[in-house]
Structure 1
C-alpha cells in the first residue's frame, strides 16, 4: 500500500474551511486514491493541516500528485494555504492497509505522527524489528501505520492513536517499563532527525 502525507500551512482560523475543501478535492470525479485522515495540528508546528491518502499502486499515487500539483486550486485551498508539502510513502509490507475508523475500529481522537531519519542500510532492519515488536506494543495502543519514505531523505513515519494525551503518556511509559518498546536495537539505525506532532481529526477525517 502506498500513501501520501500532505501538509498545508494555513492562516489562523481557516481550518474548518480548509477541511471542507480538502474533502471535496479528494472526492472529485477525477481524483485518485482514498482520503484516510485529515488532521489539524495541536502540539508541534501549529496551523497545519495534515492529509493522509492511500493508493493501491505507485502509479496511482504519482498520477494524483501530478493532478494536485497542476491544479490551480490544490486541495481546494489554493487561495488560502500559505504552503503545501507532499511526501510519498510505502507501508511496511507486513502491516494491514490503513482503513477508516468505521472499518478498522481504530480511533483517537489524539493522533501522534512521528518521523524518524534512518541511517543508510537501516531501512530493512527497521522494518524487520518493527514487525517483531509492534504486536506487543499494539496491545497497549494501536499503530495506524508505519511507512517508509520513497522520496527525499531516508526516513519513516509512524502514526499512533490514543483516546487522550494522558493515555499516550501512560502507554509510552508502560511500554518502556515492560521492555517491549522501543524495539531492541532499533535506535541504532536512526539518525538524530526526529519529529513528533500531535494532531486532532477534522470533521471530514475518516480516521476519527
Structure 2
C-alpha cells in the first residue's frame, strides 16, 4: 500500500521559482518524511498554483509529515509567499506500482494532466477494479503516473498522466475512445459530475520531469 499527499499552493505572480526552491528544501530536509515526487506549476486550469506530490510508505509517515508541515512557521518554506495552502491525503490503488521520479520510472512529461473525479457512494472499489482491468491497454497510448483515492474531504479519486505534448494528449485520448479501451466500460456510472482537469508543467526542482 502506498500513500500520497497532493498539496496546492496558490502563489502571487512571479514567485514560482522562489517557491519551488523552498519546496525542495522543505521536502528534502533531514527531518522530512516521504519522498518529493512532483512539483508542477499550472498552465491550464486554475492558474498561479503549484502542485506538490509527495509519496509515503505508510499512513503513519504521511500523517507525521502533515503534522510537521502544519506545525511549521513556514510550511513548504513558503509561509511568507503563498496566499493559500491546501493539503490532501490519498491512498494509491493497491494493485498499481508506486509513483516514482522520472529517473527511476522512465516516465517523462513535460505535460502532466491532473484529473479529479467525484465518486458516488459505493463506487470506490468498483472504480479501482475497472481501472485494474482497463488501464493496461490504455497505458500503451500514454502512461498513468498514479491513481489514488482521497482519504479526506469528499469521496473522489485523482489520476495523473504524462504526455510529451498537448497534441499527444489529444491523440491518445481520441485513440483510446476510438479503440473502445477508455474510459472503462461502466466506469462513469460510479462517478459524479464533479470533475476537474488541470494541465501543469514541471518546475526545475521536480523529480517528475
TM-score, with structure 1 as normaliser: 1.00
Alignment of 1:36-115 (within 5 A): 36-115=37-116
Give 5+ residue unaligned stretches, structure 1: none
**Shift of residue 199, structure 1, vs aligned partner:** 0.2
Q: Which residue matches 2:161? A: 160
Q: Partners in 2 of 1:103 and 1:113 — Cα distance?
A: 20
**Shift of residue 165, structure 1, vs aligned partner:** 0.2
Q: Partners in 2 of 1:45 and 1:111 — Cα distance?
A: 14
* Partner secondary structure for residue 98 of structure 1: coil
* Partner secondary structure for residue 64 of structure 2: helix
Matching of residue 20 in structure 1 with residue 31 in structure 2: no
Q: Partners in 1 of 2:84 and 2:193 — Cα distance?
A: 26
**Shift of residue 29, structure 1, vs aligned partner:** 1.0
**Shift of residue 157, structure 1, vs aligned partner:** 0.1
TM-score, with structure 2 as normaliser: 0.99
Deviations 1:148-203 (A, max 9, x none): 00111100000000000000001000000000000000000000100000000000
Give 5+ residue unaligned stretches, structure 2: none
What stretches of structure 1 move > 2 A for 4+ residues in a row?
none
Q: Partners in 2 of 1:76 and 1:19 — Cα distance?
A: 9
Q: Which residue matches 2:125? A: 124
Q: Partners in 1 of 2:102 and 2:31 — Cα distance?
A: 25
